[in-house]
Amino acid sequence: MALTFTFDPAVTPELRDGILDLWADVSNAGGAVGFVPPVTPEAIRPELVKHFAAMAEGRTRLLVGHDEQGKVAATAFLTLNTHRLMTHWLWLYTVMVHPRHQGKGYGRDLLAAAEDAARGLDGIEAIRLTCRGGLGLERFYGSCGYKEVGRIPGAIRVAPGDDRDDVIMLLPLG
């Protein structure tokens, strides 16, 4: 069993709704993708619309993984920099695998597919991302070859009195 990954899929209503459901399910299971539970797909929609707008402008590319039932099971967004001195690397955002599929190696497959996609883009030499501290995510990204290159203490306030580090991870594509 494996996910089927597609880079730059056509944006259909099914894909949009599948991503919204995935994002809500991941968030409500405690995933660190920009929201805290409880959250509804409707509350997430504006964030997804921002990704779609960036995709329409060619600044962001979507990588999506489908399971055998054809359901959206994983995503990662690859975002190019607009700063003219930073066009040689990109950002990886909203890395997630549906809770029912976590722990089966699909996260690592997703990051391998993202790395392949980035290597296929002209002039891209590194992938940078940030993750929320305190969840072990550094270990996940570390197992995929990323190195921690920075950490902003307490930059993410998930709840009053619960501040988490914002951890910066980098994968040089050398």
Ligand X SMILES: CC(C)(COP(=O)(O)OP(=O)(O)OC[C@H]1O[C@@H](n2cnc3c(N)ncnc32)[C@H](O)[C@@H]1OP(=O)(O)O)[C@@H](O)C(=O)NCCC(=O)NCCS
Question: Max Cα separation, the chain?
Answer: 44
x/- mask, ligand X, residues 140-169, rule CB under 6 A, reads: x--x--------------------------
**102, 151, 155, 170: which one contacts ligand X (CB under 6 A)?**
102
Is residue 65 at the binding interface for ligand X, with CB under 6 A as the rule?
no
- What is the DSSP track for 15-29? HHHHHHHHHHHHHHT
Residue 137's closest CA among 111, 101, 100, 173? 111
Structure tokens at 153: 């203490």
Is residue 133 at the binding interface for ligand X, with CB under 6 A as the rule?
no
- Coarse DSSP helix, strand, coil percentages of the chain, rounded to the nearest 5 percent: 30, 35, 35
CB of 85 to ligand X, least distance (A): 25
Closer CB to ligand X, 103 or 123, in the complex: 103
Q: Contact positions toward ligand X, by CB under 6 A?
A: 26, 31-33, 95-97, 102-108, 131, 135-137, 139-140, 143
